[in-house]
Amino acid sequence: MAEVTLTKKPILLDPFLPEEWLHIRIKKEILHQGFPWHYPGVAVINDPDPYKACFATQFYDKPTGDDKWFLAPSLTHAFDSFAWHNQSWFQIEHVMRCRANMYAPGQVTSPHIDNENENRWSLLYYLNDADGGTVIDGKEYYHKENTALFFDARLNHYPIESTTPSRVSVNWIIAGRYKQDTVRLD
């Protein structure tokens, strides 16, 4: 597992899943032809611009009780892997939400935040190689297979337009906090 430097900026986790078999399993669960994508994605359903949308599937939402982990059960193991490999610096309280987004060429969503509360974190896992990526708080991060970005869910972010046939990411929103004795945020 890559060493993590703690800052107020997004943290790049490369690789996200050191267990390559698990990454391959998740790809098989989500990237197959019969996967139930919905359009427009839930997060952008109220956007006034109908072209600012993507395909999405929600696996879990704590506030509403939505629980569809059965659509990609290996995602629970991926999150457990993240929790295990990063337990020295981050204390997880619970998962708030998990969803997958798929962008077809030219699709983007409007700038947004994932959660407005303190101690809520976004974990954005890139499932496949693609051009495009994500702009977080003004900085560009490129979409590379089996990498993830961990950042404050209150940070403004949006996708970079892609020409790849399908750019897929999984996003968890996590309630948790940095461990006090391991963190110095400059």
CATH of the domain at 176: 2.60.120.620
Whole-number mean pLDDT of the chain?
89
In a domain, 157, yes or no: yes
Provide the β-strand partners of residue 55.
102
Cα end-to-end span (Å), the chain: 23
Confidence of residue 5 (pLDDT cuts 50, 70, 90): low
Report percent pLDDT > 90 for the chain: 77
Show Cβ contacts of residue 141 under 8 Å, excluding neighbours closer than 6 positions.
10, 12, 133, 134, 135, 149
* C-alpha–C-alpha distance, residues 39 and 54, integer Å: 6
Range of the domain at 146: 11-180
Count CB neighbours of 89 within 10 A. 14
pLDDT score of 53? 79
In a domain, 147, yes or no: yes
Domain count, the chain: 1
In a domain, 6, yes or no: no
pLDDT score of 184? 47
Indicate whether 42 pLDDT > 90: no
In a domain, 65, yes or no: yes
In a domain, 3, yes or no: no
2 vs 81, more confident: 81
Mean pLDDT value of segment 134-154: 96
In a domain, 1, yes or no: no
The DSSP string of the chain is: -------SS-EEESSS-S-HHHHHHHHHHHSSTT---BSS-GGGTT-S-TTS--EEEEEEETTTTEE-GGGSTHHHHHHHHHHHHTTTTEEEEEEEEEEEEEE-TT-----B-S--STTEEEEEEE-S--S-EEEETTEEEE--TTEEEEEETTS-EEEEP--SS-EEEEEEEEEEEE-GGG----
pLDDT score of 161? 92
In a domain, 94, yes or no: yes
Residues 32-67: b if buried by 16+ CB within 10 A, e if exposed:
eeeeeeeebbebbeeeeeeebbbbbbbbbbeeeeee
pLDDT score of 110? 85
Among 45-54, 120-129, 152-161, which is the least confidently predicted range? 45-54
Confidence of residue 4 (pLDDT cuts 50, 70, 90): low
Q: Quote the pTM value.
A: 0.91
Contact 166, 27 (CB under 8 A): no
Mean pLDDT value of segment 23-49: 83
pLDDT digits (tens, 9 = 90+) for 155-175: 999 999 999 999 999 999 999
In a domain, 137, yes or no: yes
